[in-house]
Amino acid sequence: MRFVLERVTRTLESSTRRFELDIPAFRVDRGEVIALVGDSGSGKTAMMELLALAAAPDEGGRFVLTGDEEVDIAGLWRHARLKDLAAARSRQLGFVAQTGGLLEFLTVRENVALAQDVAGRHDRHRVERLVRTLGIDGVLDERPARLSIGQRQRTAILRALAHRPAFVIADEPTSALDPGTAREVIDLLLETASGEGAGILVSTHNVALMAHAGVETVHVVPAPGASHWVSRVERRR
């Protein structure tokens, strides 16, 4: 299975600023681990939201998820086929939002169970192992409001991995963690890639941590000569 983006853009506008993310070509396969790096405001989150099927690209370009059959992600957005997008998202992707993205009215245990329910993949032993690795066994029956920032982030990582997704999209997954836990989380993601064949895409400021783990980095860089703010990200295979 592979993500393929060609000539894709995403434009964001406010009353004071116009921003465009330009993606000439970006491909990533299952089993690969990629870190997206760049300055704050460069467009990393905009890219991660595209890959997580949480935001629509502009018109034009090719955006597909290939596997046994090809899913035209750009076409699903263009024709507002939101149920099909939700189905692809829930079965194939695990998303760690920068803010955690947990459902506040559910406990940690219930947040994780919901991800497995929607995907139709229940595995109690897997959840127990991940809980021990992430060190959140003492808060399973707590709601997000009672968790620390680090506990919320670790719960989001647990939820993203619980249903064995084909790809894990993690936006700054270690930003709220201490250095030791951050290394453990990256090791867990690497294990998920090598042991389960999942593709891992992480955005981060921590270039040193990625280098230490041997993770390939792709830079989001400003595009020269534009009349408004443009960032470009590219990875050809």
Instruction: Compare 100 and 155 and report the one with higher pLDDT.
Output: 155
- Output the 3-class SS for the chain: CEEEEEEEEEEEECCCCEEEEEEEEEEEECCCEEEEECCCCCCHHHHHHHHCCCCCCCCCCEEEEECCCCEEHHHHHHCCCHHHHHHHHHHHEEEEECCECCCCCCCHHHHHHHHHHHHCCCCHHHHHHHHHHHCCHHHCCCCHHHCCHHHHHHHHHHHHHCCCCCEEEEECCCCCCCHHHHHHHHHHHHHHHHHHCCEEEEEECCHHHHHHHCCEEEECEECCCCCCEEEECCECC
Predicted confidence band of residue 226 (pLDDT cuts 50, 70, 90): low
Range 214-227 average pLDDT: 79
Predicted confidence band of residue 80 (pLDDT cuts 50, 70, 90): very high
Q: Return the domain boundaries, the chain.
A: 2-232
- Is residue 84 predicted with pLDDT exceeding 80? yes
pLDDT at position 83 is: 94
CATH code given to domain 2-232 = 3.40.50.300
Distance of CA 42 to the CA centre of its chain: 17
Instruction: Compare 210 and 177 and report the one with higher pLDDT.
Output: 210
Opening angle at CA 40, ends 186 and 16, nearest 5 = 150
Best-predicted range by mean pLDDT among 29-38, 184-193, 218-227?
29-38
What percentage of residues in the chain have a pLDDT greater than 90? 52
Predicted confidence band of residue 232 (pLDDT cuts 50, 70, 90): confident
* Mean pLDDT of the residues in the chain: 89
Note the pTM of the prediction, 2 decimals: 0.86
What tokens does 29 get? 């396969």
* CA gap 98, 203 in Å, rounded: 9
pLDDT at position 155 is: 92
Range 83-99 average pLDDT: 89
Range 40-59 average pLDDT: 92
pLDDT at position 225 is: 59
pLDDT at position 228 is: 67
What tokens does 64 get? 């597909």
pLDDT at position 227 is: 59
